[in-house]
Amino acid sequence: MASHRRLRLGMVGGGEGAFIGAVHRIAARLDDEYELVAGALSSDPDRATRSAVGLHITPERAYTDFRTMAQAEAARPDGIDVVAIVTPNHIHYPAARAFLEAGIDVICDKPVTHDLAEAEDLARIIATSNRSFVLTHNYTGYPMVRQAREMVAAGEIGGIRVVAVEYAQDWLSTDLEATGQKQAAWRTDPARSGAGGALGDIGTHAFNIAEFVTGLSTTSVAAELTSFVHGRALDDNAQMLLRFPGGARGTLWCSQVAAGNENALRLRVYGETGGLSWQQEHPNQLIHTPLGAPPRLLSRGGPATGDAATLATRIPAGHPEGYLEGFAQLYRDAASLLRARCAGEIPPAACALLPGIAEGLRGMKFITAAVASSARDGAWTEI
């Protein structure tokens, strides 16, 4: 993995009609660290071939099966350094396993697997593989999210008392899956999505960002999952109470039937001496509310931000920076991690913020506990 060249990237999924694959490709190129050279871009052979042509992948590296791709790329002297897995959830585990066992590092979209048993087995494989595994909880790459985490860790709001996180969308307010819309179809299908609908798709993001910023691990949940759209097999709305170590308490609400909301991820954290508030739709601002003092508006790139936010900032203050850059930050940190490991060096400090299999396991345990709690009429259930 030479330091003088881009990392060779492969991709599983992300072909014609896919949404998240394009996001990963843009993010990987934003800091000029990667070059896409191979892919198994679709389970449909014709679509896989067309997609590869459109992305300028040479014919011999356009695969129709990810297992074949893993073995072929591992055998090439110019094989891929790392693969991005951007498929529906049920493919994450078998694809990640194939590449890890072939000696290839993995960057995987979330949630980590289809179910908890797969996540636990994947953790075992990663532990014995000597390879890196990165999970793209992209909101952890936002500068002001990292700023909030740094402030909490520094004790700037005191001991945490209350955590309120929500993620509201409205795109599944109707029976969109019945129209054949690809993104709706797989996300509402338990065979491909897993046990959580909105819970797995966006609830895991809310859960992850709450734990990332606070540094607290949720101990138990009391959840109610609802499918408001008639005939929908998975939840499209979830609301729950959270318990944290030390007596802190929280709430989590995620919904894909909240009319008028596009991508309203919001986190509020309140401690003994102050609070913090951040919204994804206004990602460059963090509101700090010290107890007994006027609120402070912290801006990305501004003089009041710390090292964590500064290192994740690309452009001057006042210019929008958000979704794609958040993904790109994870890709940049992953590149630093892979290069450092190859050189036998200590990775930069920012690499420690990368989500991995530990966060993936937390997410799957969260889904499992929330589903079990809801089935028992909101009974408190340990994670």
SS (H, E, C) 243-304: ECHHHCEEEEEEECCCCCCCCEEEEEEEECCEEEEEECCCCCEEEEEECCCCCEEEECCCCC
4 — pLDDT class (breaks 50, 70, 90): confident
Q: For the chain, where do the domains classified as CATH 3.30.360.10 start and end?
A: 142-315+362-382
Could you give the CA distance from residue 294 to residue 63 in angstroms, rounded to a whole number?
58
pLDDT in tens, 126-136: 999 999 999 99
What's the mean pLDDT in 271-290?
98
Report the sign of the C-alpha dihedral through residues 93, 255, 309, 321, in that order.
positive
Separation of CA 130 from chain center: 22
Residue with tokens 């402030």: 151
Helix or strand holding residue 326 (H, E): helix 323-343
Determine the topology of domain 142-315+362-382 in CATH: Dihydrodipicolinate Reductase; domain 2 (3.30.360)
Percent of the chain with pLDDT over 90: 94
pLDDT in tens, 56-78: 999 999 999 999 999 999 999 99
The per-residue pLDDT for 160 is: 98
Name the average pLDDT for the chain. Answer: 96
Could you give the CA distance from residue 100 to residue 102 in angstroms, rounded to a whole number?
5
Please tell me the pTM assigned to this model. 0.96
Tokens representing 138 are: 């992209």
The per-residue pLDDT for 136 is: 98
Q: Tell which residue, 316, 276, 318, has the closest CA to residue 295.
A: 276
C-beta of residue 164 within 8 angstroms of C-beta of residue 250:
yes
DSSP of 56-113: T--GGGB-S-HHHHHHHHHHSTT--SEEEE-S-HHHHHHHHHHHHHTT-EEEEPSSSS
Q: For the chain, where do the domains classified as CATH 3.40.50.720 start and end?
A: 7-131
Please name the residues in contact with 157: beta carbons below 8 A apart, sequence gap of 6 or more: 151, 269, 270, 271, 272, 273, 274, 275, 276, 288
Could you give the CA distance from residue 144 to residue 154 in angstroms, rounded to a whole number?
15
The per-residue pLDDT for 304 is: 87
On the question of pLDDT at 26 being above 80, the answer is: yes
On the question of pLDDT at 1 being above 60, the answer is: no
Tokens representing 329 are: 């930050």
On the question of pLDDT at 2 being above 70, the answer is: no
C-beta of residue 74 within 8 angstroms of C-beta of residue 42:
no
Name the residue with higher pLDDT: 44 or 7. 7
On the question of pLDDT at 3 being above 80, the answer is: no
The per-residue pLDDT for 189 is: 97
The per-residue pLDDT for 356 is: 98
The per-residue pLDDT for 18 is: 87
pLDDT in tens, 245-270: 999 999 999 999 999 999 999 999 99
pLDDT in tens, 316-362: 888 989 999 999 999 999 999 999 999 999 999 999 999 999 999 99
What's the mean pLDDT in 193-216?
98
Determine the topology of domain 7-131 in CATH: Rossmann fold (3.40.50)
The per-residue pLDDT for 235 is: 98
What's the mean pLDDT in 148-175?
98
Tokens representing 195 are: 């046990």
On the question of pLDDT at 43 being above 90, the answer is: no
Residue with tokens 């896409």: 36
The per-residue pLDDT for 17 is: 82
